[in-house]
Structures are given as C-alpha cells and as structure tokens.
Amino acid sequence: MEELLASMGEQVADPQEEAFLLFSQSIPSQSLGFIDPKASLLDICVAGRDLSIHQSPTLLSSNRKEGTTGAVVWRVTPLFAEWVASLNILTRTGILGSDSIVLELGCGVSGIVALALAPHIKKYVATDQDYVLKLLMQNIVDNSPKDSGSISRGKKHQNSKHRKSSVRKAEWSATNVELLSLDWELDSVSTLPSFLVQDQASKSEETVAGVDVIVACDCIYNDALVEPFVSTCAQICGLRSSNDKQNPTVCIVAQQLRSAEVFESWLESFDSLFNVWRIPDDLLTDALKANSGFVVHVGVLRS
C-alpha cells in the first residue's frame, strides 16, 4: 500500500482546487458520454479481446423512475477496463493479483470491466440495480469461454454462498464472477455475500473480510447520487479496515468530466471520508490522461 500511495504523488488537499484544475483543461465534447445509445449490440475490443456487448436503447429511453443509465455503455468503461486489466501501478504494487477480490459499483449491463479483469483475479463481484442483471448475465456468458459453466447471481436481501474460484494460469472460467443487486439508496452492505461481511469472531486468522479493490466507472452524474454512492463506498471499505488496517480496501473511481458543480460535490463528500489521490498521467494510458475528458481517482478510507 505504501508503494502505491508513494507513486500517486501529492494527495488531493482541496476539492475546490482539484475541480478547478481539472475543468480548466481542454475537455473534448463527448455529449453525455454514451458510446452509441441507439445500438442494441456493440462490438468492442478490450485488453486484446473482441467483445460483443448487448445493451438496451429502449430501456434507456423509458420512464423508469429508479434510473435507466445502466442500460447502455459509457465511453469511460472500456477505456478504464483496458487500463485496469493491464500491467499497471495496481498490479506492480501487489494491490491487484491472482488472490484479489474486486467489487464493482454501478456496473451497468455491459460487464466489460468484469470480463477484462476477472481472468486475472480470484473473485469479481459486479453490482447494480436489479434491472440490469439479466442483460449483464447475458453479456458475461456470451463473452466467456464456452465451457465456463454457470455464473452466480445473488438474490436481493439474501447472502450468497462463496463459490470457490476456478481461476488458473492458463485458462479462465467465468464462475469467479458474481452478479448482485445493490441499490445504494435502498440496500445495506449486509446484502453482500457472506464471505465479505461475515462476523469477525467466526473467521480464522487467515480469512480477511471485505474486498481488496472497489471500482466504479461513471457513477457520478447528478447530485442526488453523490451521498448514497460515497456512503456505500465507505461502508464496503469499512468491512476491511475493521480487521486489517495494513491492507485497506482501495477505492478507484473513473469518470467523465461533465459538470464542475457535480464533480466538486462528489469530491467534497468523498474527501470527507477518504484520503484521495488523482492517478497521475505517467501511470495511465493515453486515453485517460489530462485533456482526455476523463479522470481516475484513488481513495483510501480515513482511519
């Protein structure tokens, strides 16, 4: 962890200044940030793999009051997936590896980050509201090895049993991906799988609660989402910090720069609970560097 944070450079000290610096960049016009909101099928190459991703333009344009933005793919998602699945600062410092457990918040229907990263880790838990899970499962299954077997889908308000990882050096089975319904405004982290939240007293010394890394791509686009998102991040990170302060959960947030006001609101809230760093350009791919219109931050829960 110390090596990772040393590589990050200076910690974000002033959310207002950080927002000013980022939005002073030459930000390319990318509309709302969808790749193609009218296409039902997208062909995308990520981390050397050709993916065919189903999405739902009909659902996106519906009047579903709980939200519809997870129905299609956002531009930052494949760019972040390409970076996080590469030999990056997280893998070089041991934060991500074959024994890692990663949880994604607001994964949407695509499953792109899961498909890119799951082959390299022990367990990937993809979460979002229930309405995305059917199409999400289809995308994971359709883009996984044909002999992968079944994928675990957790039920809302019911802990899921921990499946033993079947990751191997030469092959990948998608059964190390678990799909779960998690609504930041309605659900508690107690709905997460039991292997993440089980009572500390019942565990052996070798077992550590929580996840190693939280990832979130383009989950902040209006003020109403800021507090429930940050609160959920903090609650999940708290599962680990309570019994393993030497290896806290790392929270990675990638997003498109749209509204300076919404971004600043998020960063002020995030900074109040987390120590925050912006990943510097020399540790990112060109597609995520300054003036790209995207930014990636790392947060570690304050003790």
Predicted pLDDT of residue 241? 64
Answer yes or no: are the C-beta atoms of 260 and 220 closer than 8 Å: no
Give which of 276, 275, 278, 277 is closest to 302, Cα–Cα.
275
Q: What distance in Å separates the CA atoms of residue 148 and residue 140, rounded to the nearest whole number?
A: 10
Answer yes or no: are the C-beta atoms of 129 and 183 closer than 8 Å: yes
Residues in the chain: 303
Which DSSP helix (H) or strand (E) runs through 102? strand 101-105
3-state SS record for 153-173? ECCCCCCCCCCCCCCCCCCCC
In this predicted model, what pLDDT tens digit does every residue of 63-107 receive, in sequence order?
776 678 889 999 999 999 999 999 999 999 999 999 999 999 999
175: left (phi over 0), alpha (psi -120 to 50) or beta: alpha
- Burial degree of 235 (CB within 10 A; 0-12, 13-18, 19+): middle
Strand blocks (E) in the chain:
41-46, 49-54, 101-105, 123-128, 152-153, 177-181, 213-217, 250-256, 274-278, 294-301
Question: What string of pLDDT tens digits covers the 303 residues of the chain?
Answer: 999 999 999 999 999 999 999 999 998 877 778 999 999 999 999 999 999 999 999 888 887 766 788 899 999 999 999 999 999 999 999 999 999 999 999 999 999 999 999 999 999 999 999 999 999 999 999 999 875 555 666 654 343 333 333 333 334 667 899 999 999 999 988 878 877 876 444 444 445 679 999 999 999 988 999 999 999 999 999 998 666 667 899 999 999 999 999 999 999 999 999 999 999 999 999 999 999 999 999 999 998
Question: What is the three-class DSSP state of 31?
Answer: coil
For residue 27, the 8-state DSSP code is: P
The pTM of the full predicted model, rounded to 2 decimals, is 0.89
* CATH class for the region spanning 2-301: alpha beta
